[in-house]
Each structure stands twice: as C-alpha cells, then as structure tokens.
C-alpha cells in the first residue's frame, strides 16, 4: 500500500505540473488551437480519480468505480451509431449485462466471468433484435453491440478481477498497468504530433505515427524497468517484457478503435468533434492491455 500511495502521489504531482504548464502555454499562445490537448488533460484527471478509487479502497468501491467506467465507455461507444428503435432495445439489454458481469467478479466466479460475454451474451443477445421488426441492419447492429461489450465491458472489467484473483498483489498490478498504458499513450501522441512523419493509419487516425510508436515502445519499456520492482513481484526479464507487451497491445487497441470510430462516424463531423475528448478515446488502449496483461500473468504466475 505504501508503494501505491507513493506512486499515486507522484502521478498527482506530474499531472498538476503538466496541467499548470499547459495553461501557461495556452495563455502565452492564445491563437493556437489546444483543443485536443485540453480535452486529454481533463480526461486524464477524471481517470486519475477513478483509478485512485480502484487501487486505494476496498474491493467493492474498486469494482463500482470500474463498472461506472465501463458504463460510460459503452454509452459513448453506442452514441456513435445511427440507431433505430429496435437497436435501442438491443442496447438496453447490453447495458443490463454489465451488473451481471461485475457480480461474477464480486463473488469470484472466474469461470462465469470469463465466458459470460464471449459465450452466453454472444449467443443470446441477438434475440431482442430477432423479435424486432424487420431484418434490415440486423448484422450491423448486433455485431456492433457485441464488439462494444467485448471491448468496453469484457476487456475493461478485467481491471476489477486483478484484485479478486490476487488480493495481495492485484491493486499494485492494476496501478502498474494503468501507469504504463497511459504513459505509452501520452508519449505516442506527443511524439507523433511534434516529430512524427510516417503515419500508421492516416485514414483512421491522423495522429499516430511509426515514430510515435517506436519511441513510446522504448520509453514505456524503460519506465517498466524502473517501476516493476516497486509495484510487482516480477523478475527482471518479465519486468522488461511487461513494458513491451503493454506498449504493443495499447497501440493495437488505439488503432482498432480508431478504425471503428472512423467507420461509424463517416460524414458526421459534428459527432466526431463531440467525441474527441471523451473517455472512450482514453480507454481504447486499456480495453486491450487489461485482458492481455491479466491472462499472460495468470499463465506464468501462480498468484493469479
């Protein structure tokens, strides 16, 4: 717990300094567009509060905080879709799966937690749409909803299961994962904006570049090297590989959700601007890093 408090205190200090520096720069350069950076600063503060609850307090408070994050992210995900009445009924059933998913976590039923959404929800979620009116758009609405549940609920809900699987080490592992994931996102974004030349997927995300990816990979691995002795029980090899794993999967999550958003928001520029600073854009990497990191640890270490 001491290491956790110190780490959160350092994060709070760094974020305070970064926020102060941003507003000073913004005041000195009033004609420059800082909208994207400002939205990121606001959402980082919100995420710091959420994950402070998730790592410092009892498991129930942690579980509720992550459940709220999943609900918000899923809601923003659904807001990108042009919906019919039958689709909205499907979304309602999707929202109702969230309490069940977190109930399995609360009682520690790993078997149901791990198959509930990928198996049972996958098979039975289409039923409300089947008994709706018409077949038009059936595949798009059902597959879109299932993608959202897998990424925004199933993927992110793993953040809550760390502490259930390992009460002793889980909270620090969550903090370790979040710090590296967000650090990787920040470095990737800043490097891509200021020195990046070769865009990875310019049609889906104009900010991601190969320079940003490789610099983020190296620096995230370096941070993992210095941080793992304080927040994990890993050895040197796995401490370093954790940085590589989190950086690569975070990059894949960011790219994948960028494609999803671009596909759904084609020609809807107003909605694109509205969703720029929302939490969906900040948890896209965590939707990938959280489950992958969890299952890799579970495979190699007995304490999970």
Q: Which two tokens stand for residue 190?
A: 């800043």
Percentage of the chain surpassing pLDDT 70? 79
Choice between 205 and 236, residue whose per-residue pLDDT is larger: 236
DSSP single-letter state for residue 132 = S
DSSP single-letter state for residue 150 = I
- CA 38 – CA 53 distance, rounded (Å): 24
Q: Is the pLDDT of residue 16 over 90?
A: no
- Give first-to-last CA distance, the chain, whole Å: 18
Q: Is the pLDDT of residue 133 over 90?
A: no
- Bridge partners of 2, per DSSP, are none
Residue 15: per-residue pLDDT:
76
Q: What is the mean pLDDT of the chain?
A: 82
- What band does 103 get if pLDDT is binned at 50, 70 and 90? very high
Contact 194, 201 (CB under 8 A): no
Give the gyration radius of the chain's Cα atoms.
Answer: 20
The model's pLDDT over 29-59, given as tens digits with 9 standing for 90+, comes to 776 655 656 666 666 676 677 667 666 666 6
Pairing of strands 205-209, 199-201: antiparallel
Lowest mean pLDDT among 107-121, 196-210, 281-295: 196-210
Q: Is the pLDDT of residue 275 over 60?
A: no
Q: Is the pLDDT of residue 266 over 60?
A: no
Q: Which two tokens stand for residue 301?
A: 């270490």
Contact 118, 254 (CB under 8 A): no
Residue 246: per-residue pLDDT:
96
Residue 132: per-residue pLDDT:
64
Interior CA angle at 150 toward 278 and 77, to 5°? 25
């Amino acid at each position: 717990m001491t290491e956790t408090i110190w780490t959160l205190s350092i994060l709070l200090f760094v974020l305070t300094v970064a926020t102060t520096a941003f507003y000073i720069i913004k005041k000195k350069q009033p004609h420059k567009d800082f909208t994207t950076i400002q939205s990121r600063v606001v959402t980082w503060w919100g995420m710091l509060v959420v994950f402070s609850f998730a790592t410092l307090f009892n498991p129930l408070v942690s579980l509720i905080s992550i459940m709220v994050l999943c609900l918000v992210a899923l809601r923003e995900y659904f807001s990108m879709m042009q919906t019919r009445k039958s689709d909205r009924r499907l979304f309602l059933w999707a929202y109702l799966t969230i309490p069940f998913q977190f109930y399995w976590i609360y009682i520690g039923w790993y078997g149901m937690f791990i198959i509930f959404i990928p198996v049972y929800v996958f098979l039975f979620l289409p039923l409300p749409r089947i008994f709706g009116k018409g077949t038009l758009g059936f595949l798009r609405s059902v597959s879109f909803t299932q993608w959202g549940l897998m990424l925004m609920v199933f993927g992110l809900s793993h953040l809550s299961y760390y502490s259930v699987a390992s009460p002793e080490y889980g909270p620090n592992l969550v903090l370790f994962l979040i710090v590296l994931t967000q650090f990787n996102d920040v470095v990737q974004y800043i490097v891509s904006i200021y020195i990046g030349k070769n865009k990875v997927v310019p049609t889906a995300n104009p900010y991601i570049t190969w320079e940003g990816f490789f610099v983020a990979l190296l620096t995230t691995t370096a941070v993992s090297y210095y941080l793992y002795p304080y927040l994990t029980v890993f050895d040197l090899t796995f401490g370093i590989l954790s940085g590589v794993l989190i950086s690569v999967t975070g990059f894949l999550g960011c790219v994948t959700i960028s494609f999803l958003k671009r596909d759904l928001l084609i020609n809807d520029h107003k909605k694109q601007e509205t969703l720029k600073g929302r939490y969906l854009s900040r948890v896209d990497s965590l939707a990938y890093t959280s489950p992958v990191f969890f299952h890799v640890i579970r495979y190699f270490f007995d304490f999970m």
